[in-house]
């Protein structure tokens, strides 16, 4: 990519440069992450890898890129679902197909606009079950049963819609369109292995132990992932957050402020009566400290810092200040 940006390049190369800069930054962070965790999770790098590929106008990798499973043999995905038989004629088939596709499109438009994903998951599940009913007994019915299981699992496990997952559901919508415009002939079409792999990967990554999920995973001799989606998301926040050098600088600044607070509290503890301005500065410093702890996702510590024991701030020095002193000492050690 660096070779694609010549010396004296115009503004049209800004996207390439920005993406390359971000990728190098994340790569450095991933090395730090690996040294800390001693575990390799390349799927955490997939978003930045796809950003690089899109900047070069290449096709992005699917979310199941690092997932190795053979999906050529298909189990009965509809076995764990209660799908009613559709007994209508061709006209009724077309009406229901259009209604289910519209439901699917509403959900798809909602996730593309980052709206209520809970409602979207429910709509995806409803539309998929309706299309599974229309395609029951045909190969395409298996796909819609699997999509329904995935939508229910994403709702149950509160799994977010990433860019890769949005692209996957956009791809699935094309098969709903075929059911509408081609009719029953389209139900005989089989879903590609790549799409089935993406859907099975979401079940694997969900960490769900629901019967319909374990039934699908067992058919492929899989068990739920040791690192479910919620845990990987937490690791991704650490990876794409501030680097260790930034956190080190922040820790040093916090250490200095804590030492200053400790000195002020120590003076109060010795029985030297402080003025109101000194007490006010202690209160303001604790509030700033609490805000910083919130940004670091240390909410319990922030809550303790915001309590500002009455004995220390209001002048009653017998109870509040010793408790605050203990808190400050403990926080410095932490």
Distance CA 109, CA 37 (A): 38
Same domain? 180 vs 222: yes
Other residues' Cβ atoms within 10 Å of the Cβ of residue 184: 15
Same domain? 209 vs 293: no
Q: Which domain holds residue 226?
A: 90-237
Residue 71 inside a domain? The answer is no
Q: Is the pLDDT of residue 326 over 70?
A: no
Q: Is the pLDDT of residue 253 over 90?
A: no
Same domain? 254 vs 313: yes
DSSP string of 321-332? HHHHHHHHHHHH
Same domain? 232 vs 94: yes
Residue 99, pLDDT score: 97
Same domain? 51 vs 108: no
Other residues' Cβ atoms within 10 Å of the Cβ of residue 289: 20
Q: Is the pLDDT of residue 151 over 90?
A: yes
Q: Is the pLDDT of residue 178 over 60?
A: yes
Q: Is the pLDDT of residue 229 over 50?
A: yes
Domain count, the chain: 3
Same domain? 96 vs 199: yes
Of the pLDDT bands very low, low, confident and very high (cuts 50, 70, 90), residue 182 is very high
Residue 73 inside a domain? The answer is no
Same domain? 171 vs 133: yes
Residues 6+ apart with CB under 8 A from 199: 146, 147, 150, 168
**What's the pLDDT tens digit per position in 7-31?**
777 777 788 888 998 899 899 889 9
Distance CA 276, CA 264 (A): 13
Residue 80 inside a domain? The answer is no
Pick from 237, 259, 294: which residue ends a domain? 237
């Amino acid at each position: 990519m660096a070779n694609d940006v010549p010396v004296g390049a115009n503004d049209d190369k800004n996207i390439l440069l920005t993406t390359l800069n971000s990728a190098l930054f994340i790569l450095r962070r991933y090395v730090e992450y690996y040294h800390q965790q001693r575990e390799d999770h390349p799927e955490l790098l997939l978003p930045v890898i796809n950003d690089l590929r899109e900047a070069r106008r290449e096709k992005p990798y699917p979310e199941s890129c690092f997932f190795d499973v053979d999906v050529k043999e298909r189990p009965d995905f509809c076995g764990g679902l209660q799908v009613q038989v559709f007994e209508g004629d061709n006209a009724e088939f077309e009406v229901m197909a259009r209604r289910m596709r519209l439901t699917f499109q509403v959900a798809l438009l909602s996730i593309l606009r980052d709206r209520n994903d809970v409602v979207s998951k429910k709509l995806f599940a409803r539309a998929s079950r309706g299309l599974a009913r229309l395609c029951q007994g045909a190969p395409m019915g298996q796909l819609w049963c699997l999509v329904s299981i995935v939508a229910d699992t994403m709702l149950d496990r509160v799994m977010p819609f990433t860019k890769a997952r949005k692209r996957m559901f956009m791809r699935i919508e094309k098969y709903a369109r075929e059911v509408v415009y081609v009719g029953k002939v389209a139900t005989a079409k089989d879903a590609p292995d790549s799409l089935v792999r993406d859907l099975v990967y979401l079940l694997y990554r969900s960490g769900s132990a629901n019967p319909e999920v374990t039934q699908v995973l067992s058919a492929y001799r899989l068990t739920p992932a040791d690192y479910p989606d919620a845990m990987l998301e937490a690791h991704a926040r650490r990876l794409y957050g501030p680097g260790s050098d930034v956190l080190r600088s922040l820790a040093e600044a916090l250490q200095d402020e804590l030492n200053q607070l400790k000195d002020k509290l120590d003076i109060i503890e010795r029985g030297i009566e402080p003025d109101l301005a000194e007490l006010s500065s202690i209160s303001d410093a604790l509030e700033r400290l609490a805000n910083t702890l919130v940004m670091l996702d240390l909410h319990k510590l922030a809550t303790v810092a915001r309590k500002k024991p009455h004995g220390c701030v209001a002048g009653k020095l017998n109870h509040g200040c010793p408790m605050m002193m203990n808190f400050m000492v403990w926080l410095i050690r932490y």
